[in-house]
Amino acid sequence: MPEDESHERILAVDIGGTKIAAVVATRDGEILARGYNRTPVQTGPEAITRSILGTIAETMASGRVSPPQLLGMGVAVAGIIDGDEGRVVFTPNLPGWIDVPLKAAIEERFGVPTCMGNDATLAALGEWCFGLNKKVANLIYVTVSTGIGTGIVTDGRLYAGAHGFAGEAGHMTVDEDGPGCNCGSTGCWEALASGTALAREAKKEIGRGADTSMVELVGGDSSRIDASVVFEAAQRGDGLARELISRLAYYFGVGLANLVNIFDPELILVGGGVAKMGDLLLQPARSVVKERAYVTLSHDLEIRPAVLAEDSGLLGAVAFVSECYG
Ligand SMILES: [Zn+2]
């Protein structure tokens, strides 16, 4: 029997600091098979590359697809990605990953054309194509978790910038005297409004002797406090947790207002772990945007939770393959 060379399937991989997730999907974004492995963060670039290749092979096996059936592979990675050269220039999640030629490694192993992009940029593409069916022409997608990433669709096109690096809004300065950021600057949006920032502020207040149920929630070990602990305490009525989230929401809104003034979007979708706080985060942020953005820009703007939840990056990589090789 001749081998099936239909090129109708797409394989997508999302490489994060905790897990490597992959799917086999149709061009329409229907997911046919899934695979994942924990990211072996401490074992260095080669072991992580092996794990990525292994996850791809396992996912292809569980979806019963072979390389000739694939239109292409799409890879989403946090950080600075050189899509033209197929290199991970820098990723904050994987220590030691500097200038890694990941595209070449995947193409050499599987013989399938492979395209790569920043995870938040591709997540915006995924939300736009499969969450919104492209019904909106001007969209900003914001993911808030350990950091803040953004992807921008403007005039019905994904905005990439001169080098494909556009959308690093997490590193715009919101308070020049603010706390230090992983990128080396100070007062970046993500240093003030991410889950990491929330946990840092909680620990700081506890270190100053604040009275809060958060310490109890982590069995007395305040080093274990993260954004989800602050959220849980806030839901139970903890005053400090509520105050910290309202400060976070304020700064989140300030950053959104800056983006609104620059891009005039119709819609802002908010995803990522911290977005699970829902209106505790979004309602105050909407008020700040109303106060700070030009009224003409913000009066019919919608700010709401993302549609695809944890699959936005993977489905964005699926859409990207269609765009690159379809
Ligand atoms: Zn920064």
- What pLDDT sits at residue 1? 44
The arithmetic mean of pLDDT across residues 257-286, rounded, is 95
SS3 assignment for 258-303: HHHHHHCCCEEEEECHHHHHCHHHHHHHHHHHHHHCCHHHHCCCEE
pLDDT confidence tier of residue 162, bands split at 50, 70 and 90 = confident
Of the two residues 5 and 225, the one the predictor is more confident about is 225
Rounded to the nearest angstrom, the distance between the alpha carbon of 165 and the centre of ligand 1 is 14
pTM score of the predicted model:
0.92
Cα–Cα dist 104/323, whole Å: 20
- What pLDDT sits at residue 165? 84
Note the pLDDT tens digit of each residue in 199-242: 999 999 999 999 999 999 999 999 999 999 999 999 999 999 99
Residue with tokens 């950053």: 255
Rounded to the nearest angstrom, the distance between the alpha carbon of 153 and the centre of ligand 1 is 22
Rounded to the nearest angstrom, the distance between the alpha carbon of 179 and the centre of ligand 1 is 10
Note the pLDDT tens digit of each residue in 128-140: 999 999 999 999 9
Note the pLDDT tens digit of each residue in 279-304: 999 999 999 999 999 877 667 899 99
Q: Which residues surround ligand 1, an ion (CB under 5 A)?
A: 171, 181, 183, 185, 188
- What pLDDT sits at residue 195? 95
Rounded to the nearest angstrom, the distance between the alpha carbon of 109 and the centre of ligand 1 is 35
Rounded to the nearest angstrom, the distance between the alpha carbon of 136 and the centre of ligand 1 is 29
Buried b / exposed e over 11-32, threshold 16 CB at 10 Å, is bbbbbbeeebbbbbbeeebeee
Cα–Cα dist 201/145, whole Å: 15
Rounded to the nearest angstrom, the distance between the alpha carbon of 255 and the centre of ligand 1 is 13
